[in-house]
Amino acid sequence: MQMLTHKYTLPLLTIGTIVVFWLFMAHPQWDLAVARMAYGDGRFWADRGGLVHALRMIFWNAALVMVVVAIIALSLAHSYAWPRRLLPAREWNIILWAFIIGPGLLVNVLLKGFSQRARPYDLLSFGGDKFYAPIGQLSGQCDTNCSFVSGEVSGTTAFCLAMVILIQHHQPRLGARWTRAAYGALAASLAYVIGHRVLSGGHFLSDALLAALFTALVFVFVAALWPQQGEAPPSA
C-alpha cells in the first residue's frame, strides 16, 4: 500500500493526467499519426496473429479473476484464516471497490458509454465508415462501447495495482530480487496491453494512456478514503 498512499503519488498522477489530456487535445494529430504507423496492407499490425490475441485474453481474464478472488476473500474472511493471511480485509475492499469504480463504472459505463469516440478501425482512414474525433469532443460517431477510454488497459492497470498491494504486503518474505522481478513483469504486462490495444486499432494512444491514469487515480482515492481497520463498513 505504500506506493498508493505515498504523499507524492496523487499529485504526480494528477499532473500526469492533466498533461496527457492537454497534449492530445492540443495535438489531436498525434493519435492519428500513431494509428497510421500501426496500419498497413489494409490491416492493423497487431491484428495478424493468434498468439497476440491469446496473450490479450490472458490479461483480460486475469483482471476478472482478481475481482472474483477479492469477492471470495471478503466473503470468507470472517470464517477462514487464508484470506487474512493473503491480505487484510481493508486491502481486499480497496481492490474490489477500485475495480468496481474504476474499470467498472468510470470506464465501461460512463466514459465508454458517453464519449462518442469511434475506434481507429472504424474510421474512414482505416477502412471503416466513421469520422475521427479528438478526445473530449462529442462527435456522435459512436453510440456504445466507444474508444475513449480503453477498458482492457483499465482492467489490466487495476490488476497490476492489486498485485502491487499483494507484493508490498508480502515483500519481507519475497526479498528484494523477487520483488523487483515481479514489478518488472507487471510493468511489461501493462506495456503489452497498451501496445496491443493501439497496434490492433482498438484504441488510440490517448485512450490507452488515460485509461491507465484514470484507473490509477481511482485506486489512490479509494486507498486514501477507505477507513482504517476497525472502522471499515461491512465487507462487500
Q: What is the pLDDT of residues 111-146, one digit of tens each?
A: 999 999 999 999 999 999 999 999 988 989 999 999
Question: CATH says 2-225 is which class?
Answer: mainly alpha
pLDDT at 234 over 50: no
Write the CA distances from 64 to 44, 59, 104, 124, 125, integer angstroms: 27, 9, 11, 34, 34
pLDDT above 90 as % of the chain = 77
pLDDT at 73 over 70: yes
Which of 55 and 34 is assigned the larger pLDDT? 34
Provide mean pLDDT across the span 69-92.
92
Cell of 186: 507487471
Distance of alpha carbon 50 from alpha carbon 213, whole angstroms: 29
Region at 235 (left for phi over 0; alpha for psi -120 to 50; beta for the rest): beta
Read off the pLDDT band of 37 (50, 70, 90): very high
Which DSSP state fits 28?
Answer: T
Dihedral sign (CA 195, 58, 108, 67): negative
Q: Which of 44-53, 150-159, 172-181, 227-236 shows the lowest mean pLDDT across its residues?
A: 227-236
pLDDT at 213 over 70: yes
Read off the pLDDT band of 231 (50, 70, 90): very low
